[in-house]
Amino acid sequence: MKNQQNYEFLLKNNMKSLYKLIFSGIFITLILLNIWVFTKGMHLSSDINNFELKTKELKKENMELEANLYRINSLNNTSKIAEKLLFTQKASPYFLDNLSVALKK
Instruction: State pLDDT tens for residues 49-84.
Output: 999 999 999 999 999 999 988 887 777 777 788 778
> pLDDT digit string (tens) for 20-51?
889 999 999 999 999 999 999 999 999 999 99
CA distance 35 to 37: 6
CA–CA–CA angle 73, 74, 78 (5° rounding)? 85
Q: Could you tell me the pTM of the whole model?
A: 0.50
For helices 75-84 and 2-73, the axis angle rounded to 10 degrees is 50
Helical residues (DSSP H) of 1-105, grouped into ranges:
2-73, 75-84, 99-102
Asked, for residue 96, whether it belongs to a domain, the answer is no
Can you give the residue range of the structural domain that contains 27? 2-84
Asked, for residue 9, whether it belongs to a domain, the answer is yes
Provide the domain count of the chain: 1
